[in-house]
């Protein structure tokens, strides 16, 4: 009896791995529904506010390029910014208490920022050389073209004409595949890594 009692106390203090529930996954699922909705709301709201700020910056800041080299430099810097942001977000996902919520925030911010980088490059290129595309591009046209290229729709109403413009579009196409394919898979892997880490800690 004594041994049984000690065994019961031991089980209550340190539950066996087989009897222990998946607490890492339940940490989020066990939260009140209102709390979960609020967390998801802020996971989308924070990037949305940043995107609104980027959109205002895109429409308000002066973008007038007379040299294709400077556009190329800014494009590379913009893509480096996206890569650094993604790397930081993936690290935060794998260490976050709620990795799935953090992944929503990462995807809500990274993809639009990627599109804005190319929209800015297209607009600057069109300003420096109006014949770069099949028609002159204003800011909305450039953003529209970047979005249609990202979504692989490509209506064909706007097409690149010069070599420089076509190179930029090809870079975006390759980047689209990376963002949609590899990056999403890496983010999902970071979510699983975060869940496993919390499982081992609990």
For the chain, domain boundaries: 23-201
Cα–Cα distance, 26 to 10 (Å, whole number): 23
Average pLDDT over residues 97-123: 84
pTM of the predicted model as reported, rounded to 2 decimal places: 0.70
Query: Whats the size of the chain, residue-wise?
Result: 202
- pLDDT tens, 63-100? 655 555 677 888 888 889 888 888 888 888 777 777 77
- pLDDT tens, 19-38? 444 444 456 666 777 777 88
Q: Do 139 and 58 form a contact (C-beta atoms < 8 A)?
A: yes
**Alpha carbons within 13 A on the beta-carbon side of 80:** 6
């Amino acid at each position: 009896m004594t041994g049984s009692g000690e065994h019961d106390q031991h089980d209550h203090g340190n539950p066996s791995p087989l009897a222990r529930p998946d607490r890492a996954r339940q940490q989020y699922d066990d939260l009140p529904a209102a709390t979960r909705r609020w967390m998801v709301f802020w996971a989308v709201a924070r990037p949305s506010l940043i995107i609104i700020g980027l959109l205002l910056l895109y429409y308000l800041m002066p973008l007038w390029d007379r040299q294709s080299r400077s556009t190329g430099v800014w494009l590379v810097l913009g893509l480096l910014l996206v890569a650094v942001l993604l790397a930081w977000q993936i690290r935060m996902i794998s260490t976050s208490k709620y990795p799935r919520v953090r992944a929503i925030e990462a995807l809500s911010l990274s993809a639009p920022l990627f599109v804005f980088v190319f929209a800015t490059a297209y607009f600057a290129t069109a300003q420096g050389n109006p014949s770069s595309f099949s028609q002159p591009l204003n800011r909305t046209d450039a953003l529209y073209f970047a979005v249609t290229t990202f979504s692989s729709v490509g209506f064909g109403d706007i097409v690149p004409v010069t070599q420089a413009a076509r190179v930029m579009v090809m870079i975006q196409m390759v980047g689209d595949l990376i963002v949609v394919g590899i990056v999403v898979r890496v983010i999902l892997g970071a979510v699983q890594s975060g869940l496993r880490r919390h499982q081992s800690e609990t």
